[in-house]
Structure 1
Amino acid sequence: MPIKDSELILNPDGSIYHLNIRPEHIAQTIITVGDPDRVDAVTRHFDTIDFKTRKREFHTQTGTYKGKRLTVISTGIGTDNIDIVLNELDALVNIDLERREIKSNHTSLTIVRVGTSGSIQKHIPIDAVLISEFAAGFDSLLHFYDSQNIQDHPISEALKVHTNWSTHKSDPYVVKANAELLDHFKGDHTHIGFTGTNVGFYGPQGRTLRLKLEDEHLNDTLASFNYDGKPITNLEMETAGIYGLALLLGHRALSMNAIIANRATGQFSSRPKEVVDDLILYTLNKIVTLT
């Protein structure tokens, strides 16, 4: 039965609703960034660019780097946007948009996030590169999907006990990176971490300006959590959503983090742009040797 118009929304030109792109516009390897302006920071290294579009916070460019076809797309901030981007990218490759039917042959995308993050561990300094092996989602995204089989329940249960997690907050979920990608992208200078994905930048990440926090010690409590030698290392706002939806949809995903702040020491990088640019080049050169 065809997917209803209200569920799979297409623009008049046949492009997917939010991203404004058609299947021929994307590569099978995709770099996601949060900031729409960071797309240009990635594609300025490309040999060719054959497609560009921009709608709302979703800025997409496709081209080649050292002969490999790549797509770079901005997601904006937060797992609510990740829900849109991951589902619409998957629809472009795994749904026949004209017939509005799921294809019999599944296409698996490789999705690599390149973003910024703040460390909550003193031993992970500013300007470091951290690759997320695990991600804990403090949002509700995965709970709206049949996702119990991809979650690491022992870790999330231990995390709730350790933090005395409030029942008024979303139930944390824990998901893992693609092991093949993790092994390929790690290097001598990279840190392997356990990332916390938050639902906001201020209160949810323990920042207080004028509002009182429900738990003013949460960051310290998260930093002291350690499951089987795996402490929570850093905080950001997309990784768990990317990992969870990629797993559910049959894609492989990895999150590369430029550590531009250390919440434990109160430091912020004096050269965040250069740190991100270095991470972009490192990621691109790892991608071209990926099979």
Structure 2
Amino acid sequence: MKDKLTDANFPRTADNRVYHLGLRPGEIANRIVTVGSPSRALTIATHFDEEPKKFRLVSERGFQTITGRYKGVPVSVISIGMGAPNMDFFVREARESIAGDMVIVRLGSCGSLNYTSAPVGTVVVPKACVSITRNVDFDFGSSSDEHIEEKAYRISRPVSDDLQLHQLIVSSLENARAPGDQSKIVGDLVNASADSFYSSQGRLTSFPDHNAHLVEELLQQIDNLGTLEMETHHLYHLAKCWNNRPNQAFTNPNLDHTGPPLTTGPVRPVTLASSTSGVTSDNAAIPAAIIDSKIHVSAAQIVFAARTSADRDFITPERVQAIEEWGGKGVLEALIAYHVPSERLHPEKGSAWSMQNV
């Protein structure tokens, strides 16, 4: 941390950069692709327009944001790493940095629990998600859980994605799929997001996790369950929370973004070879979230592993690269096709996607 932070409730620097993403208003667009892998973000950014030059920032906490335009529409891609906590950092801090509506699509990886419907290489657009969390009050030191009433793992109710965005992603992926590529696009399955790559996903390690039958129980309890990963439920959950919040005229101290001119932030902005980081947004001090703004979300998940097949197949690096290439383009097509009224977009003046200096 290189700059003084203010407000322990929602830390910011003097020039309004948020704590973990390192961004300030004008550096992240309303339409966003979120990924886990930094290299996947770079792959997606290759589809961006040549002008304006791409803005890229890597924060001290490892979040990478690339902002530009795709077919003339402002877009951002951000790599956040893994798990619900990192998804939480991203959604909350991006929300406080963007005026108007947000449209977010996660392009990530997952494991398949139904290798006939979703074999390795399938791209699944989950219509809903549940959360699986490890019950820390459970007696994991017990030799058996047969006589313990409390469950070792908790399963949440399902939460759905945005139906219109869901349909756009499915159709855009179908259109973007490379000629000859046999990858399936599946849009009728439910996803489960776990709080661990291991215990809460039924993987067996040397730890006494009491999870030997977890996958079997999940398939019995959750209709149309098809995939397992670690992030998508929290994205869907936060969008639902935001969109269903009381519509009250209140003053949120986080939205008072007045402050002195740009100084050195808590990060050193890193730019792509073809880009400039000279973002001098006049909007760095504007209120970020309008009262009736919405967050529209969905996801596309590449099946990396067949968890329930006899062979426990795993995807090859070459196939991952190929699907990321056309899958990233398909997700971008869906994002720009999703209509957001101009009055519900972040102002362009002084932003990373401004065409004024082109």
Q: TM-score interval w.r.t. the shorter chain?
A: 0.7 to 0.9
C-alpha distance in 2 between matches for 1:205 and 1:239 = 14
What does 1:1-291 correspond to in 2, within 5 Å? 5-48=7-50, 49-55=53-59, 56-93=61-98, 107-123=100-116, 124-139=118-133, 166-170=150-154, 172-187=156-171, 189-192=184-187, 193-227=189-223, 231-250=224-243, 251-265=295-309, 266-270=312-316, 271-291=319-339
The sequence identity of aligned pairs, in percent, is 26
C-alpha separation between the residues in 2 aligned to 1:177 and 1:195? 11
CA distances 1:243-276 after superposition (whole Å, capped 9, x unpaired): 0111222301001101111111111112222222
- Residue 11 of structure 1 contacts residue 20 of structure 1 at CA under 8 Å; is this kept in 2? no
Spell out, residue by residue over 1:180-199, the C-alpha distance to the aligned partner (whole angstroms, 9 max, x if none).
Answer: 11122223542122000011
Partners in 2 of 1:170 and 1:6 — Cα distance?
32
SS at match of 2:158: strand
- Root-mean-square deviation over aligned CA pairs: 2.1
Indicate conservation of the 8 Å contact 2:35/2:106, yes or no.
yes
Segments of structure 1 that go 5 or more residues without pairing to the other structure are 95-106, 141-163
What letter is aligned with 1:71? S
Per-residue deviation, 1:165: 9.3
- SS, match of residue 96 in structure 2: helix
Q: Which amino acid aligns with 1:209?
A: T
1 CA distance for matches of 2:133 and 2:85? 9
Deviations 1:136-195 (A, max 9, x none): 01249xxxxxxxxxxxxxxxxxxxxxxx99545445242110111112222354212200
Q: Is the Cα–Cα contact under 8 Å of residues 204 and 211 in structure 2 kept in the other structure?
A: no
Residue aligned with 1:180, SS:
helix
Distance in 1 (alpha carbons) for counterparts of 2:212 and 2:323? 30
Shift, 1:29, TM fit: 0.2
Number of equivalenced pairs: 250
**Helix, strand or coil for the counterpart of 1:220?**
helix
Q: Distance in 1 between matches of 2:149 and 2:72?
A: 48
User: Which sits farther off after the overlay, 182-191 or 68-77?
Assistant: 182-191
What are structure 2's unaligned runs of at least 5 residues? 1-5, 135-147, 175-183, 244-294, 340-358
Task: Quickly say closer, same or farther: Cα 1:268–1:21, change in 2 above 3 A.
Answer: same
SS of 2:298 mapped into structure 1: strand
User: 2:125–2:170: 8 Å Cα contact kept in structure 1?
Assistant: yes
Q: Amino acid of the residue matched to residue 93 of structure 1?
A: I
Q: What is the identity, as a one-letter code, of the residue corresponding to 1:62?
A: T
Q: Which has the higher helix share?
A: 1
Give the alignment's TM-score, normalised by structure 1: 0.80
Contact 1:112 1:253 in 2 (8 A): yes
Contact 1:198 1:236 in 2 (8 A): yes
**Deviation per CA, 1:212-254, whole angstroms, max 9, x where unpaired?**
4312011122223453xxx110000000000011122230100
Q: Point out which structure has higher relative CO (alpha carbons under 8 A, 6+ apart).
A: 2
Give the Cα–Cα distance (whole angstroms) in 2 for the partners of residues 6 and 282 of structure 1: 40
Which one has the bigger strand percentage? 1
1:105-164: CA deviation from partner (whole Å, max 9, x where unpaired): xx2200000001111012111111100100001249xxxxxxxxxxxxxxxxxxxxxxx9
Aligned AA (1:50): K
Q: Hey, what's the Cα distance between the residues in 2 that align with 1:9 and 1:139? A: 28
Pick the structure with greater CA Rg.
2
Which shifted more, 267-276 or 53-62? 267-276
Letter in 2 for 1:125: P
> Aligned partner of 2:9: which letter?
E
Kept in 2, the 8 Å contact 1:115–1:276? The answer is no
